[in-house]
Structure 1
Amino acid sequence: MRELDIPGIFKSEAEDLQKSRENAIRIHGTADIKAAGNEIECHVRRFLKRMLPRNLYITHGRLIDKNGIVSPQLDVVIADTSSIPSLMTTKDGTEYVPIDSVYAVGELKSTYYKNSKYIESFTEVLSKIKNEMSHDDVLNTAYNGVTNGNTLMRDIYLCKGNKTLNKLYSFMLFVNGGDFRFSEIANHFSTSNTKDLPNSCIILDRGVIMYGKVDDKFSQSRYPDEVEDENYDWYFSPFEPIEAECGSRDGNHLGFLYYSILEHIANSYLEPPSLSQYMAKMMVVRKSTLEKASGD
């Protein structure tokens, strides 16, 4: 039987993404960074739509919570199609997605420029989402298989691996590393609140920024803010192919992003958002304006 060349598939996908960037620059020129970036955003969203399971809704737009608070614009929003993947799309084309329906969000850039402070800016966006928007944690009461009197049958049945079932995963993807140097951004990761930082940053042609620790081997954590082990820290590393003919470094980095998103979703559970809470400000009834049909 034939063996599926998974590293080769992601090598091809990464090459297509690099070509898309080059074509966008050729068409729009380096002066029009926004237009070139839009081309990359569309390419990545198409890639995610094609590769990820069909029960996911891949879009871009703003998150909205039950109080009507909205997030800044996001390049990638990955939501659950089984409940309310989109609350509305307004006349100007902006889509609003209930935060309770969202698995992951992402920021996409064609090229890394240190002076643009892309990672710092996205950290501010994530901080606003996590500190200013309402999104109650759904805890896994059977985490790691440990049960007690407070354990819900739901969690025993779901058998999910995440400690927080509705955790919002965040990522950044830079197609070209530009003038990236990890040493120049390391202080930002060391001094920022871990819950406000992207869970991972992928510099497609360079490597991956991730949270982990080094023992006999490197152990990575997808959720830095849940780690209590002080031996964990932020690291940057390329993923070199095991063999010369086995995939590519760029492909491995794209594969890491795909794996991280898929693994996160597989171990998550989203409770359907309460639509009545999102629309509550429109559903106010006053006794003084009520008219009864029977007239009593």
Structure 2
Amino acid sequence: MKKFSFKDAIEDIINEINLAKLKAESIHKSSNIRSSGDEVEDLIRSKVSLFLPERYLVKQGQIIDDEGNVSNQFDIIIFDRLSTPKFFESRNGTVYYPIESVLAIGEIKKTLTPKHTKEFAKSIYHFKHVMKRKLKENTFHGLSAIKADIRDVLNFDINQKYKNPLYSFVFAIDGILDKTQIGEPIDIFTNDIIILNNGCRFHGAIIDGKFKPLVSDDADKIENILNYKGIPSENLSVFLDVLIRHLNRCKVEPFSISNYISKDILVYNKEKVEAKDISGFRTLDEIKKIIP
């Protein structure tokens, strides 16, 4: 029986993505600029989604908070489908999801240029500092197991500060890694970059001689970056591994829609409220005792 080759599967995906880029460039020349971008983005979203656990969905769109603030458009939004209601989905697949459930955001570029990371930083800043974002603390962080919530002890690492840290990334097909910016302030620049045909960049820390990927929510300051220049199949595999590890260490709290409902709706008008005493009403078991 023929064995399944993960490397062959990855290389097939890479070939599809590169062919889609060539096709998009041809469409772009015919002046159908929007269609040229949509096809590449749709393909990359679908391929990333293939490797994620079933509970996570990969979409494009905007994010909302309970004060009505709306994020910029993101090419990739990854969220926990089990804890997320879908507020609205337009015909082109753009979705609006509550900020509480979002665990990763990404941009897709056919060819990455230095300006792209600057533009993405503006979107990250708006998401982190303008929108009402609620980070859930891991009670086990930096404490002994005795003082922490037992659920956090069982589910999280002692070095993980929050249960729902944000992972941000740029997924580009082509570009030159050495020409991409490492910008300030570091906490609003994208965490990681994958240039499929050139290499990857990861932010993190070197602990005990090993590189540990980090997101800005994990640390007050990220002190190291790792540039990895592999062949396309290696670049994609390493990126997917980092993304999956991030999602698997996160937990989204059960969603409550009450925060999104206008406070006026939740204020009861006493004149419209009528209370009735039903304490004298019998249960089915009580009625059965009287009527055989």
Return the TM-score normalized by structure 2. Answer: 0.82
* Residue identity opposite 1:171 in structure 2: F
Give the structure 1 partner of residue 286 of structure 2.
none
* Residue identity opposite 2:229 in structure 1: P
Question: Aligned to 2:228, which of 223, 237, 252?
Answer: 237
Q: Please report the RMSD computed on the Cα atoms of aligned residues, expressed in angstroms.
A: 2.9
Q: Secondary structure of 2:83's partner?
A: coil
The whole-number CA distance in structure 1 between the counterparts of 2:142 and 2:4 is 32
Question: Aligned to 2:197, which of 193, 205, 214?
Answer: 205
Q: Contact conserved, 1:11 with 1:252, CA < 8 A, in 2?
A: no
Residue 277 of structure 2 is aligned to residue 291 of structure 1: no
The whole-number CA distance in structure 2 between the counterparts of 1:135 and 1:36 is 34
Residue 91 of structure 2 is aligned to residue 100 of structure 1: no
Give the structure 1 partner of residue 151 of structure 2.
154
Shift of 1:37: 1.9
User: What residue ranges of structure 2 are gaps of 5+ in the alignment?
Assistant: 277-292
Give the structure 1 partner of residue 119 of structure 2.
121
Relative to structure 1, the CA distance from residue 215 to residue 79 in structure 2 (aligned partners, 3 Å threshold; closer, same or farther) is closer
The whole-number CA distance in structure 1 between the counterparts of 2:72 and 2:273 is 44
Q: Secondary structure of 2:272's partner?
A: coil
> Which structure's relative contact order is higher, taking Cα pairs within 8 Å and 6+ residues apart?
1
Q: How big is each residue's C-alpha offset from its partner over 1:197-251, in whole Å with a ceiling of 9 and x where there is no partner?
A: 1110111111112224568956142224534688x33343302xxxxxxxxx111
Relative to structure 1, the CA distance from residue 259 to residue 144 in structure 2 (aligned partners, 3 Å threshold; closer, same or farther) is farther
Give the structure 1 partner of residue 250 of structure 2.
268
Between 30-39 and 251-260, the greater mean CA deviation after superposition = 30-39
Residue 82 of structure 2 is aligned to residue 82 of structure 1: yes
Shift of 1:89: 2.8
User: What residue ranges of structure 1 are gaps of 5+ in the alignment?
Assistant: 240-248
Relative to structure 1, the CA distance from residue 176 to residue 30 in structure 2 (aligned partners, 3 Å threshold; closer, same or farther) is farther
The whole-number CA distance in structure 2 between the counterparts of 1:286 and 1:159 is 41
> For this pair of structures, how many residues does the alignment match?
275
* Residue identity opposite 1:168 in structure 2: L
Return the TM-score normalized by structure 1. Answer: 0.81
Relative to structure 1, the CA distance from residue 24 to residue 199 in structure 2 (aligned partners, 3 Å threshold; closer, same or farther) is same
Relative to structure 1, the CA distance from residue 214 to residue 222 in structure 2 (aligned partners, 3 Å threshold; closer, same or farther) is closer
Map 1:30-69; keep pairs closer than 5 Å: 33-69=33-69
Between 165-174 and 204-213, the greater mean CA deviation after superposition = 204-213
Greater Cα radius of gyration, structure 1 or 2 = 2
Shift of 1:282: 5.8
Map 1:137-216; keep pairs closer than 5 Å: 137-143=135-141, 146-149=144-147, 151-160=148-157, 162-177=160-175, 180=176, 182=178, 184-186=179-181, 189-190=182-183, 192-212=184-204
* Residue identity opposite 1:132 in structure 2: V
Q: Contact conserved, 1:13 with 1:251, CA < 8 A, in 2?
A: no
Q: Secondary structure of 1:210's partner?
A: strand
The whole-number CA distance in structure 2 between the counterparts of 1:168 and 1:216 is 25
Identical positions, percent: 24
Residue 18 of structure 2 is aligned to residue 18 of structure 1: yes
Relative to structure 1, the CA distance from residue 123 to residue 42 in structure 2 (aligned partners, 3 Å threshold; closer, same or farther) is same
Shift of 1:160: 4.9
